[in-house]
Amino acid sequence: MFIGCSEENEVILNFEGEINGKPLSCDQWYSGFDINGATAIQLKDFRFFISDLRLINSKGQEVPVALEQDSTWQFKNIALLDLENGTGECSEKGNMAMNTAVRGKIKNDRYTGIVFKMGIPFEWNHVDNAAVPSPLNVGAMFWNWQSGYKFARFDLVTDKPDREKFWFIHLGSTGCVSEIMGAGPESPCSKTNIPEIRIENFDVSSDIITVDLGTLLKDIQVGTCMSGTDNQFCSDLFPRFGLSLETGDCMDGCANQQLFRKKTHEAYANVGK
Amino acid sequence: MKRMPMWGNRAAKYIVISGLLISGYVHLDIVPFHFSHMPAHGIFFGVLGVFQLFAIFLFWLRPHRFVVMWLIFSITGGMVLLWGVTQMDFTPFTRSAEPIDSPTIITKLAEIIAFIASIFHFGRLVPKHILKGLALSVVTGIGTLALGYMAEYFAGGPPKDPHGFPLANGHGGTVHSHGIYDNYYTDDYSWNDVFKSLKGYLTPQPKSSYVWNLPTGFPEPRVPAENPMTEEKVKLGRYLFYDKRLSGNGTVSCSSCHFQSKAFTDGKVLPEGSTGMVHPRNSLSLTNSAYSSTLTWANPSLENLEKQILIPMFGEFPVELGIVGKEEEVRNRFRNDTLYKRLFAQAFPEKDRYHFTNFAKALASFTRTIISGSSRYDRYVYKKDSTALNDKELRGMQLFFSEKLECHHCHGGFNFTLSTVHKNTVFIERPFHNTGLFDLDGRGAYPDNNTGIMEITGNPNDMGKFRAPTLRNIELTAPYMHDGSMSSLDEVIDFYKRGGRSITKGEFKGDGKESPLKSGFVSGFELSDSEKEELIAFLKTLTDEEFIQNKELSNPF
């Protein structure tokens, strides 16, 4: 409160879901796939946590964005992005509310890029989720104390035969050891599985981030992957998050992740038409 | 100056010093606990403790100074007064559920004794000032209060969170809490948190006449604004729950299908109503229904107990209590009863009070107190008693929470169902699942009288979708499933292990495993016999003996 308002700028980081060039929706089939026997998919759930959002200034320093504490979508430095609207297939676990942006404030400066993590920092990942405020009390995003939260929850229905048609992609920490089950681990999990996404040449006031399930899944073997290290599909999928399934850390700074990208300008040309 | 006999003054002096020592150290002692849930609260006690100890030196060095007298009065008598005011119901400072615990008793006693002794001390020392001293102590008290009010005024009124939940009326019960300004298991406070919590500490707190008695780790249930909890409604509701006069023909009560000994189920496959009509659905356990985001087995729009209770009261297909057509008769039974005259008058002060909505409100209030959270599992998890579960049960727990079995995708959270809502929930989840119990036609059909939420929504994709009930006390609530069609936990686990039920003959023939409408979470799993035993052993740790013997939930007649 002792800092003048003029020295702080509002930051709104917008996300836009996409599959193969089409906007995300729970009521639609997305064709054009040829993965693991499926040619089309439909969304069942699409939610993920973003944390530790920073902007990169002209000196290359990462300056943290102080998130607005709205007791709804954002808590501390964590925000829940919710791109499902609870209709269609999403009605089993989802809800109507959606959230496509992260809101906060940052010191006035010129910023040329962004960095953020997809996940929940260790100190908040293993709490009693009945005792923390929203969005950390959303039950569908929580495993249990020991394993913590699902950082990302992409539930899909495919056009495969009924018994194999559901694919659940749940990203979260693994190798979390607690003295007693039902309590959080004392030391960080052996595999954190939190990708850090860095996008240079990004102007947060006008650019948008595309979250593309199409590029994430393109040409790999996919199926249910709940971050298990012995899961065959995870071993294909994790590099697409930029992660090593073996270590749980970013490979090459998560630079090769295929989920997030700056929305291209060709796409902008169509906005508002 | 007149010199008084040394013995009296010296005794008074030592009493003042001991009182300050005791209350000072106790206040310092409780700092970490209070700091951990609300920094400002901890800082307040820290400053007070240091002040009380520091005052001893001043008192020792300058026992004659007027300013020292003022200081001593304000940190002894003044503190008792301040504390007293925060405890009084009519003041804006009152919090619900502020416990009077042993530190409170010790410090207040020490302070009041020190205060009396200090009046004695200063009075003897300077007799002409005794009245001034008393007046000053009053002024001090008023000053302390005025400071509190001013702080509130400048802080801009009571802080509220954007969803209108009152501040500092936290997780309720006897748990000492400051609501959203509590800190949540962390130590990364910023000064902003401290300011915010200070503001919360000094501002008026909403009063609630009801004190929840919640198990450790349980959040406060969400209660509809139009039916706030009161002891009186709970009491009336308890009588009504066990009273057969609430049914049309006087033969059954709510408790006829919800026995406390069976965690408020009845042990039957399908229950019968007052006229003998069989209900198509198994009696649901009332365990923790205060936390259910939807009520009954399958109705996405039934969100509160007040609405739900009207179904057994007035439902005709099937008839349960069967009040329809006998409304006046039933009402008069209560209107003309001495006991209920008193109970109703206490619960509902309005003149015209025998509305059925009031019956439902009282029953809902009582039902919200049917809370179970004292099982051995709770001892292990919430009370951190590592001996509460044995190795076999722990292995079962590991299986329960594993991705292999995926039980927790539907039966997760403190209440063992994701269909859970509480006071601080923002996004209410109302999941329903088709678990593959039936597939009558190859397209996932369920028997006509039990189609799940499709009955309500009319959406064919909702065929066979039912709510996942809590698993608490599951050992006591057999038979299982919405139609009571499974008699044991063994059978239930075999069913989930197979990933659907195959019925080979009869009118319900078909393999639910192959149903196109079956949830993706019921895909079957490998489980050895010994693992099954471990899983069942774990499920049995959710049985709450205290709950089924809780006198406050028992038949009051």
- HEC sequence for A16-56: EEEECCEECCCCCEECCCCECCECCEEEEEEEEEEEEEEEE
Q: Is the pLDDT of residue B26 over 90?
A: no
Q: Using CA atoms, how far apart are residues A42 and B410, in angstroms rounded to an integer? A: 21
- DSSP annotation of B179 reads G
More confident residue, B307 or B162: B307
Q: What is the mean pLDDT of residues B483-507?
A: 96
Q: What was the pLDDT predicted at A162? A: 74
What value does the mean pLDDT of chain B take? 83
Cβ atoms within 10 A of the Cβ of B509, count? 12
Q: Is the pLDDT of residue B22 over 90?
A: no
Residue where the block lists tokens 């060095």: B61
- Which of A71, A95, A168 lies at the smallest CB-CB distance from B163? A71
Per-residue confidence at B131, pLDDT binned at 50, 70, 90?
low
Q: What was the pLDDT predicted at B133? A: 57
Q: What was the pLDDT predicted at B62? A: 84
Per-residue confidence at B211, pLDDT binned at 50, 70, 90?
confident
Query: What residues in A contact B424, CB-CB < 8 Å?
Result: 133-134, 137
What value does the mean pLDDT of chain A take? 88
Per-residue confidence at A32, pLDDT binned at 50, 70, 90?
confident
Residues 6+ apart with CB under 8 A from A273: none
Q: What is the mean pLDDT of residues A97-106?
A: 93
Q: Using CA atoms, how far apart are residues B166 and B423, in angstroms rounded to an integer? A: 10
Per-residue confidence at B491, pLDDT binned at 50, 70, 90?
very high
* Preceding omega of B479 cis (within 30 degrees of 0): yes
Q: Using CA atoms, how far apart are residues B446 and B452, in angstroms rounded to an integer? A: 8
Q: What was the pLDDT predicted at B207? A: 46
Which range among A90-104, A197-211, B392-406 shows the weakest confidence by mean pLDDT? A90-104
Q: Is the pLDDT of residue B32 over 90?
A: no
Q: Which two tokens stand for residue B252?
A: 């059954």
More confident residue, B177 or B141: B141
Query: What residues in B contact A127, CB-CB < 8 Å?
Result: 184-185
Q: Is the pLDDT of residue B107 over 90?
A: no
Would you say A81 and A46 are in contact if contact means Cβ atoms under 8 Å apart?
no
Per-residue confidence at B130, pLDDT binned at 50, 70, 90?
low
Q: Is the pLDDT of residue B90 over 60?
A: no
- Which of A137, A142, A163 lies at the smallest CB-CB distance from B425? A137
Q: Is the pLDDT of residue B300 over 80?
A: yes
Per-residue confidence at B165, pLDDT binned at 50, 70, 90?
very low
| Helix or strand run (H / E) with residue B71 | helix B66-75
Q: What was the pLDDT predicted at B196? A: 60
Q: What was the pLDDT predicted at B53? A: 87
- Which of A127, A182, A226 lies at the smallest CB-CB distance from B380? A182
Chain B's closest residue to A2, CA to CA, is B192
Find which of A181-195, B23-37, B297-311 is predicted with most confidence, using mean pLDDT. Answer: B297-311
Q: Is the pLDDT of residue B179 over 50?
A: no
Give the three-class secondary structure for A62.
strand
Find which of A136-140, B338-342, B344-348 is predicted with most confidence, using mean pLDDT. Answer: A136-140
Q: What is the mean pLDDT of residues B108-127?
A: 79
Give the three-class secondary structure for B222.
coil
Residue where the block lists tokens 């008693």: B385
Q: Using CA atoms, how far apart are residues A119 and A80, in angstroms rounded to an integer? A: 10
Q: Is the pLDDT of residue B148 over 70?
A: no
Best CA proximity match to B289, nearest among B374, B238, B376, B221: B221
Residues 6+ apart with CB under 8 A from B305: B289, B290, B295, B360, B363, B364, B367, B368
Q: What was the pLDDT predicted at B197? A: 58
Q: Which of B426, B428, B534 is the best residue to mutate to test the A interface, defined by the most A CB atoms within 10 Å of its own CB?
A: B426
Best CA proximity match to A73, nearest among A30, A102, A33: A102
Q: Is A201 on the interface with B (CB under 8 A)?
A: no
Check A71 against B219: CB less than 8 A apart: no
Give the three-class secondary structure for A225.
strand
Q: What is the mean pLDDT of residues B278-282?
A: 95
Per-residue confidence at B463, pLDDT binned at 50, 70, 90?
very high
Q: What is the mean pLDDT of residues B292-314?
A: 94
* ipTM higher than the 0.85 cut: no
Q: Is the pLDDT of residue B117 over 50?
A: yes
Q: What was the pLDDT predicted at A64? A: 95
Q: What was the pLDDT predicted at B253? A: 96
Q: What was the pLDDT predicted at B13? A: 84
Q: What was the pLDDT predicted at B192? A: 65
Q: Which of A162, A167, A177 is the best residue to mutate to test the B interface, defined by the most B CB atoms within 10 Å of its own CB?
A: A162
> Phi and psi at residue A32, in whole multiples of 5°?
85, 20
Q: Which of A75, A137, A174 is the best residue to mutate to test the B interface, defined by the most B CB atoms within 10 Å of its own CB?
A: A137
Q: Is the pLDDT of residue A88 over 70?
A: yes
Q: Is the pLDDT of residue A23 over 80?
A: yes
Q: What is the mean pLDDT of residues B319-344?
A: 91
Residues in chain B: 557
- The reported pTM is 0.72
Tell me the sheet residues that pair with A101.
A14
Q: What was the pLDDT predicted at B101? A: 64
Distances (CA, A) of A163 to B133, B176, B198, B313: 85, 50, 56, 42
Per-residue confidence at B6, pLDDT binned at 50, 70, 90?
very low
Q: Is the pLDDT of residue B164 over 50?
A: no
More confident residue, B163 or B56: B56
Best CA proximity match to B272, nearest among B263, B288, B283, B261: B283
Q: What is the mean pLDDT of residues B512-538?
A: 94
Handedness of CA B537, B541, B543, B545 (dihedral sign): positive
- DSSP annotation of B292 reads B
More confident residue, A195 or B36: A195
**CA atoms within 13 Å, Cβ hemisphere of B362:** 25
Q: What is the mean pLDDT of residues A13-36?
A: 90
Q: Which two tokens stand for residue A117?
A: 């993590």
Check A162 against B516: CB less than 8 A apart: yes
- What's the distance, CA B10 to chain centroid? 51
- DSSP annotation of B254 reads G
Q: Is the pLDDT of residue A55 over 80?
A: yes
- Which of B184, B431, B432 lies at the smallest CB-CB distance from A132? B184
- A54-57, Cβ contacts within 8 angstroms, sequence gap of 24 or more: A54/A114, A54/A115, A54/A116, A55/A11, A55/A106, A55/A109, A55/A111, A55/A113, A55/A114, A55/A115, A55/A204, A56/A111, A56/A112, A56/A113, A56/A114, A56/A115, A56/A200, A57/A109, A57/A110, A57/A111, A57/A112
Q: Is the pLDDT of residue B400 over 90?
A: yes
Per-residue confidence at A6, pLDDT binned at 50, 70, 90?
low
Query: What residues in A contact B171, CB-CB < 8 Å?
Result: 131
